Copies of this chain bind each other. A is one copy, B any other.
Amino acid sequence: MNRSRLIEIIKNKKSFLCVGLDSDAEKIPTHLKNEEDPVFAFNKGIIDATLPYAVAYKPNIAFYESRGSKGWQSLEKTMGYLSTMTGEVFTIADAKRGDIGNSAAHYARAFFQTMNFDSVTVSPYMGFDSVEPFLNYDDKWTILLALTSNRGSEDFQVTQHQLPSLLEKMGIKTICGRKLYESVIEKALTWKNSEKIMFVVGATQAELIGQIREIAPDSFLLVPGVGAQGGSLAEVARKGLNKDCGLLVNASRSIIFASSGKDFEKAAAEEAERMQKEMENMLKEKGII
């Protein structure tokens, strides 16, 4: 999917909601467990119910992989179903892969060719040659981890690169003081085909989203961590929206496990609609729609 089509979908649906398909086989409603493939049946139910409100779907690969090749079959069926809506919804493989050269090329093939995802999340740790094979695909997106929503983001993404206050007082600010996530964003934006890069920025880091917008004014940001993880949608939108919207905000558990009963589709739709309405107001406030 290209950028203008993505923006079109956002404006049509008045939403920048991404539904995270963190479909833990142990947590899906009991009445689905007699289905041939309970996880796929669950995903299909969630997709059908939330489709009016969501612009993107994001299977979290970990929850499929833990069941081995059977889990991968559920994932393939889910993508097969989403592929019937190619161009209508944006699909994200939340895989956080990160390997080099030929290995990276095989991961890109897995998600872009074998399964036809529009995008995949990638870890930047190994540098440019671990990302390049993903960027070589037309109309496919690479979503680089930048500043994540977990507590461990402090271990390497932020803390290590901070300048000690003593040096800041001496006026030494830039020579070695870039935080790692800032370096990742700045460097990635110099790479060939960087217009097909998005960045993962956790909603719990809302106060830093404004700073990230200074480095990456035009980039789309994929923002997880709203809802169950405690990030504020209003705060994220206030700091993160740009003229094209520029945000995909993900909610997983708060939507897909809104009810564990037979009404799980209705409950998911209600929660997705609630978020969509909030987003519609924000898009109007900013004059985007």
**Contacts from A to B (Cβ < 8 Å):** 22, 24, 60, 62-63, 65-73, 75-76, 94, 96-104, 106-107, 109-110, 113-115, 123-131, 145, 148-157, 160-164, 166-167, 172, 175-178, 180, 183-184, 187
How distant is the Cα of A101 from the Cα of B96 in the complex, in angstroms? Answer: 14
6 additional A-B pairs beyond A125-B145, A127-B156, A164-B175, beta carbons within 8 Å, are A62-B106, A65-B107, A96-B99, A131-B152, A160-B161, A162-B176
Q: Is the CB of B114 within 8 A of A66?
A: yes
Q: Which of B103, B125, B145, B166 contacts A60 (CB 8 A)?
A: B103
Q: Is the CB of A180 within 8 A of B177?
A: no
Task: Please list 26 pairs of residues, one from A and one from B, whose beta carbons are closer than 8 Å in the complex, sorted by A's number.
Answer: A60-B99, A60-B103, A62-B99, A62-B106, A62-B110, A65-B106, A66-B109, A66-B110, A68-B115, A69-B72, A69-B73, A69-B76, A71-B110, A96-B98, A98-B145, A100-B150, A123-B123, A124-B156, A126-B152, A127-B150, A127-B154, A130-B152, A160-B161, A161-B176, A166-B175, A167-B172
Q: Is the CB of A107 within 8 A of B66?
A: yes
Taking CB atoms, residues of chain B closer than 8 Å to A180 are 156, 160, 180
Which label, helix, strand, loop or mixed, suits the secondary structure of the A interface?
helix
Q: Is the CB of B160 within 8 A of A145?
A: no
Taking CB atoms, residues of chain B closer than 8 Å to A126 are 96, 123, 145, 148, 150, 152-153, 157
Which partner residue on chain B sits nearest A184 by CB separation? B156
Q: Which of B62, B127, B178 contacts A155 (CB 8 A)?
A: B127
How distant is the Cα of A100 from the Cα of B123 in the complex, in angstroms? Answer: 13
Closest Cβ–Cβ distance, residue A93 to chain B (whole Å): 11
Closest Cβ–Cβ distance, residue A87 to chain B (whole Å): 22
Q: Is the CB of B72 within 8 A of A107?
A: no
Q: Is the CB of A125 within 8 A of B167?
A: no
How distant is the Cα of A150 from the Cα of B130 in the complex, in angstroms? Answer: 9
Q: Is the CB of B156 within 8 A of A103?
A: no
Q: Which of B70, B124, B177 contacts A125 (CB 8 A)?
A: B124
How distant is the Cα of A22 from the Cα of B105 in the complex, in angstroms? Answer: 13
Closest Cβ–Cβ distance, residue A43 to chain B (whole Å): 15
